[in-house]
Structures are given as C-alpha cells and as structure tokens.
Structure 1
C-alpha cells in the first residue's frame, strides 16, 4: 500500500507548479504506461495492479523501476482519469532542448494552442505521419499536462518538443544561413492546400484555436495555406486542420 506521503506526492503532480518543482509528471492507463516503459523516459515509480505487472513483467524488469502493486481502489485515488484499472507511472520530465528542422525534415510549430486535448491529438498526428519534432510557443498547453499525455495515447514517447519564444526562434533560424526552409502557416486567406506543391522540408505553423497565428509570428510565414470550405461550418478544430494539411504535404512530397 502507498504511504500518505507517496499518495500526496502523486496527487500533487495533477498540478503544473508541482510538476515543474519536482521535474516529474504522471502517465496513466495501461496503454500509455506500456509505451513509457518501452521508451527512453526515466520512470521513477510504477503503481500497478498485480495483473498489469504479470502481463508486462519484461517491460517492468527492463526499466528497473520502483514498483508498487496496488488495488484498483488505490489507483482511483491518485489518478486524474475517470477510470483506471491498470497502472500509473511517475516519470521524469526531459530538458527543454532546442530543435530545428534538418534537411528535408518537416517540423510542426504551435502558436498559442491552449487546449490540452488538441495538443495531445496533434502529438498523435505527428507520430502517425512520422514527424518527430514539435516546436511550441511559451503559451501553448504544457505537454506534461495529464490530459495531453492521455490524449496522445503514447505518442508523446516518440515526438520531441521544445518550448520558447517563436519570433526569436524564427529570427534565429533565418540568421543561421544555409538553405532557406519554407515556413508554412494556416490562414483563412491562404493558398488551397489541395493544389499547392510543398517542399520536402520546412515548418508548419498552426495557430490559436480562436485567433489563429498571432501578429508576432505572422511575418515569418513564407507561404500561407488554407483548407477550402465547402459547407457552412465556421471553422475546423486545430487538430483536424493539422491532420488535413500534413496529409496533403505527405501526398505532395511522395
């Protein structure tokens, strides 16, 4: 059984300030915990049912992490999920290391995307299409938010990310010289994504759910993109829009 201190510590990781103070976050549910056990993340503690431990003995042994076998009722006391009958892992956060697009590489950039569910979905989209780098503005939802981790369905283990000031980032990229990388941006008045030709690499900027790409980032966009509307909906969810654009990019560059 967990001690009161262990329980309080795990519950504190529901909040961003305590995640930042401790350098740790929660991964919850069988699928996500299996993914993190198989990844290069450091798992500090695993709370799991006896059944989960038996089914994943090799993964747990390879990770050599502190493991507590607990009943489902104990998991439900510390989880953020509505139901969790398998496992919770306490995992170390990673350093915020700068990322740039390599030759022929496509990188996603998020400007003030605030909804955790959208960020988790975008991580899954990036993983599905083989995109390994995600650059986020300081105001984008925190990737270690439990809702982001849950929505990503384990894809957070295969996509790298960096948070910082986007105008400063793009200004720095332009000063480095070398082959110029296109910066695509999603706008209502851009070029039709269905007919345009993408380069093999570059950056795709997706903006805030309500306001789009902000005025501080807009000057760095070299090509505006739009998804043409055929019906009456006012807008598309940013996750769906990301998937549509990335799919067209992939088909254009085959």
Structure 2
C-alpha cells in the first residue's frame, strides 16, 4: 500500500527543491505560496478544495499524486513556466500556435519530471490526463490542418488564377460536405449516448453513470470527459438540446451531470 503525503510534506519538498536550485540559497517559496498555487491549480478544474481535506482540515495525496502536483506547482512558481503563465498571469488565454508549443513543452517537462519518480504506467496515465484536459493533440492537429491549407494555397501560385479558384472551390465543397456529415453524426451520436445514460439510470437507479465498470481508469475518464463535453455542446446548441430533452423527457443536466 502506498503511503500518503501530506500537503505540508509536499510543500517542504518543493521548498527544498527551489532552495537547492537557487544560486545563493535564499530563494525558497513559503508554505502559504505553495498552498495558494495548489488551490489555484485545483480550482482551475472546478474542484472544491474542501473536498480534498479530511475531517481535520488536512490534505493528503497518494505518492504518485504528490509527484504530479509537485511538478505542477514547481511550474507555477517559475515565471517562465507554462502553468505560471496559464494560471497566475492569464497571459496564455488564446489557443494559438505559440500556446500549443508552450503546452507541448510543459507536457515534455512533466513527462521528464515524473520519469523515475513513479512507474511508467502511472506517468503515462498522468500525461494522458493532461493531453485530454488541454485537448492538446486535437488542437495541434487542427493547427496542422490550418497550416496545410495555407501551404496548399501557396502551392497554387504557379497556376492560372481561374485554376486556383477552381481548386479552392473544390476543396471548399469537400470541407462543407464533411462539415454537414459530421454535424449529423454528432447529433445522432449525442442522442444515442443520452439514451444509453437514461436507460442506465432507470435500470440501476443511480444518479449518474460513473464508468467504473470499465475497469480502466484512463478509459473511464475519457468517457466522463466526453459526457462533460456533450453537456457543453448542448448548452451551446439550444435547438439540439431542446430536441433531446423532448425526445427523452429529461433535461440534459439530469442526464450528463
């Protein structure tokens, strides 16, 4: 059984880490600063810090959790770090290529930070969670598609202008067709997922579906994230939301929360 690490012990470890890195041995963050950074990090995921405290008001983390959190907090104390820019200053508030590169560097940092401090499986699981939460790979591929279209446009320069326009219109038709197809697929999939969740709740009497039966934490979390994303999608698309609520005679909040 892995031992628990207290927040105070974690803070002391971070203090020592920064003390050892400083040139004069005087740069060391206070416990209050570390605790505040931890609360900001937890709050960014919509988690109430009170839920993490025991009856004595103390916070204890599993060993792997402590390593992960220590890496995050260390980044939040580094003014050049992604977490500091993302959580503290808010300067990384646009998902442009520069931000994606920062996220990529941050994930590489976390990968290296956790290596040899926990099992490879645990490390990879945390990296997968970060990727999922930041939607890093999906956003990076979106950026690559934008750049590919730009590159395609530049490649047309040697063609007649009328030919350039014709090729671009053909590409536009392909994208429009895919957009319509994906819209239909998303709506049908959302209805299907909503029906499955409703049936599960009615059969089990459970208030929510937790996906623990999948016996795989990473896969279960991916399903939970999908449900959270569906709820956001429906709140942003009131007509689809109304259709599903009418069809299933339940509010989407009842279904996906």
Q: TM-score, normalised by structure 1?
A: 0.25
Whose helix fraction is larger, Structure 1's or Structure 2's?
2
The higher-RCO structure (CA 8 Å, 6+ apart) is 1
The structure whose Rg is larger is 2
Write 1 or 2 for the structure with the bigger share of strand: 1
